[in-house]
Amino acid sequence: MKCIILAAGYATRLYPLTKNQAKPLLEVAGKPILHHLMEQVETIEAVDHVYIVTNQKFTPHFQEWTEHYLSQKPITVVNDQTISNEDRLGAIADIQYVLDAQKITDDILVLAGDNLFTFALTDFVQFYQQVETDCITLQTLDDMEELKETGVVEIDEAGVVIGFEEKPSQPRSNLAAPPFYIYRSTTVPLIKQYLRTGNNPDAPGYFIPWLIQHREVRAFRFDGVCYDIGTLESYQKVQELF
């Protein structure tokens, strides 16, 4: 299994903090957000390589970070060649960029580089290995405004995803899907098919409504919480919590 960490955004909502600093490299509790993520990835035996996809502007920052971070797994920084928020590829297109550039054909674990969470990623991978289908994560959110800013999921009694909407104006459930996904090697080629047919390349959740029409996708409901660091207010909140 390969791990792809999405870190190619420009985080304009966090300016001035992120004007000259990549959001995943902002510190929380004394260490970069990316460091917190990698500590979780290190515990997953199945992952044998980590790819951090970023942009031209922040590539040197991530390369410098990897030089100082002592990892048990090889880490490759992938530059998607974009230079501004206006020409960004979008998260799904960035996944495909890594797949093509690194010739990846294994299962992939996809993580957003700007989320902190309190559940164990190893539990998510173990669930995936048990159900043997593509998987997403799930948490219960009762705040309607928060639900409008995330992916909202509908599942059946068996935990199979039967509906998914990214940032809905009228959420159909209180089940939110943080940006953590595991795709089987046989599903990986479908990402290119999704993009070729003109679908939205931006937020990673946009792929799921399309995917559930082609493959069974199951939801892993985790114990714990997940924090999306998207604004100065949310960054301050996470600082206090951690």
CATH number, residue 81: 3.90.550.10
H or E element in which residue 226 lies: strand 226-228
Whether the pLDDT of residue 223 is over 90: the answer is no
- Percent helix, strand and coil across the chain, each to the nearest 5: 35, 25, 40
Whether the pLDDT of residue 149 is over 90: the answer is no
Tell me the mean pLDDT in the region 233-239: 88
Whether the pLDDT of residue 86 is over 90: the answer is no
Tell me the mean pLDDT in the region 162-172: 91
Buried b / exposed e over 61-79, threshold 16 CB at 10 Å, is bbeebbeeeeeeeebebbb
- DSSP three-state, residue 210: helix
Taking alpha carbons only, the member of 158, 202, 149, 142 closest to residue 178 is: 149
Whether the pLDDT of residue 12 is over 90: the answer is no
Position 242, amino acid: F
What confidence score (pLDDT) does residue 17 get? 83
What confidence score (pLDDT) does residue 123 get? 96
> For residue 227, what are the domain limits?
2-241
Mean model confidence pLDDT for the chain? 93
What confidence score (pLDDT) does residue 48 get? 97
pLDDT band at 155 (very low <50, low <70, confident <90, very high): very high
Alpha-carbon dihedral sign for residues 215, 221, 121, 17: positive
Tell me the mean pLDDT in the region 35-44: 96
Q: What is the pTM of this model?
A: 0.95
Number of domains forming the structure of the chain: 1
